[in-house]
Amino acid sequence: MIKSPLKWAGGKTRVLPRLLNYLPKADCLIEPFVGSGTVFMNTEYRRYVLCDSNRALINFFRALREDPERLILIARNVFRNGNNEDSYYEERKLFNHLSWDDECADDYVVRWAASFLYLNRHCFNGLYRTNRDGGFNVSFGSYKAPYFPEAEMRLFAEKARDTHALFLCNDFRTSIPYVARNRLDSVIYCDPPYIPTSKTANFTAYGKPFTLDDHRALVTALLDVNRQHGTRSAISNSDTPETRQIYSAFNLHAFRVRRSVSAKTRDMAGEVIGVLRGDVGRNSGACGAWTSTIENLRPAAIWIGFDLAAVFDNGEPSDEHA
């Protein structure tokens, strides 16, 4: 098992051996909810398109791929003498400043990435949570000796370069139809925020709820690209009646797993891995028409540092991004 450089709520470490049995083979793996990147690090697809709506997360991965030595050096300096509350809250303030100021963030991409790693390793449970204004607001974790993941960072950077991985910052409503259209021999793996098992267990995705309607929209998008392009997909989620209803187009494989470190209890919980059935999608009218929103959004709001016309030229990334 190759670990991610990041601590991450909902990471797939515990379920990965089971998940690998169900992921379809293809040339390219598309992840609309890349999270920590654990699935990326432990699979062997030739190409990867890794997406997330978290700008800071995607910035970290891109900085790590493009300049790992500089990022490791700067991040190590941030970690040094930084395991105290005063340093933590000063760094959190800087991180939010870089997050809000697009021009400043562009100038200090690696510094922003180093700050992200520091907060991830020093905050409570490695959570990423924001307030209504988008400011990171997780409290100091008070850990005795936060781990500096240099070895994991080097492995991640090496694989990202070797596979010409693309890291795109966008919502699944854009990433799924757009990327699937340009990556025909691909499979999509979706690990969205789980449907809560109780009213008190709801998880917010970076500060806003991921609702049942969002899950329905996700299924619609997956059915649509399957119908149009034959793109296969797999999902992970909690095992609830709502999950089984919304993801009824998938063959669901149920199992139980111990909850992650960020959960309120460490009890066993029911989860499912779903694989889209072959008899839905292409011949089903359930998905309806999908209207892409990409033409109505500014590229800078969707893709960090990418030329949309060049990224998928003839199905391969250009030399600039490879």
Q: Are residues 286 and 194 in the same domain?
A: yes
Of 152, 180, 202, which closes a domain?
A: 152
Domain membership of residue 5 (yes or no) is: no
Whether the predicted pLDDT of 268 surpasses 90: no
Q: What is the tally of structural domains in the chain?
A: 2
Question: pTM for the full model?
Answer: 0.84
Query: Could you give the CA distance from residue 266 to residue 172 in angstroms, rounded to a whole number?
Result: 30
Residue with tokens 């891995």: 273
Of 152, 187, 212, which closes a domain?
A: 152
Query: Could you give the CA distance from residue 256 to residue 238 in angstroms, rounded to a whole number?
Result: 10
Diameter over CA atoms, the chain: 60
Q: Are residues 32 and 107 in the same domain?
A: no
Percent of the chain with pLDDT over 90: 70
Say if residues 13 and 1 touch (Cβ distance below 8 Å). Answer: yes
Domain membership of residue 91 (yes or no) is: yes
Of 152, 184, 209, which closes a domain?
A: 152
Beta strands at 186-190 and 232-238: parallel, antiparallel or unpaired = parallel
State phi, psi for 123 to the nearest 5 degrees. -80, 170
Report pLDDT digits (tens) over 220-256: 999 999 999 999 999 999 999 999 999 999 999 999 9
Report pLDDT digits (tens) over 123-132: 999 999 999 8
Domain that holds residue 138: 63-152
Neighbouring residues of 263: CB distance < 8 A, sequence distance ≥ 6: 269
Q: Are residues 147 and 101 in the same domain?
A: yes
Q: Are residues 185 and 290 in the same domain?
A: yes
Q: Are residues 40 and 70 in the same domain?
A: no
Q: Are residues 46 and 186 in the same domain?
A: yes
Mean of per-residue pLDDT scores for the chain: 84
Domain membership of residue 160 (yes or no) is: no
Mean pLDDT of 68-92: 97
Query: Could you give the CA distance from residue 167 to residue 157 in angstroms, rounded to a whole number?
Result: 12
Structure confidence at residue 103 as a pLDDT band (50, 70, 90): low
Whether the predicted pLDDT of 317 surpasses 60: no
Whether the predicted pLDDT of 101 surpasses 90: no
- CATH of residue 122's domain is 1.10.1020.10
Domain membership of residue 158 (yes or no) is: no
Q: Are residues 46 and 69 in the same domain?
A: no
Nearest partner of 172 among 293, 32, 23, judged by Cα: 32
Q: Are residues 184 and 111 in the same domain?
A: no
Q: Are residues 199 and 288 in the same domain?
A: yes
Domain membership of residue 208 (yes or no) is: yes
Structure confidence at residue 12 as a pLDDT band (50, 70, 90): confident
Q: Are residues 201 and 280 in the same domain?
A: yes
Structure confidence at residue 35 as a pLDDT band (50, 70, 90): very high
Q: Are residues 197 and 230 in the same domain?
A: yes
Query: Could you give the CA distance from residue 43 to residue 29 in angstroms, rounded to a whole number?
Result: 9
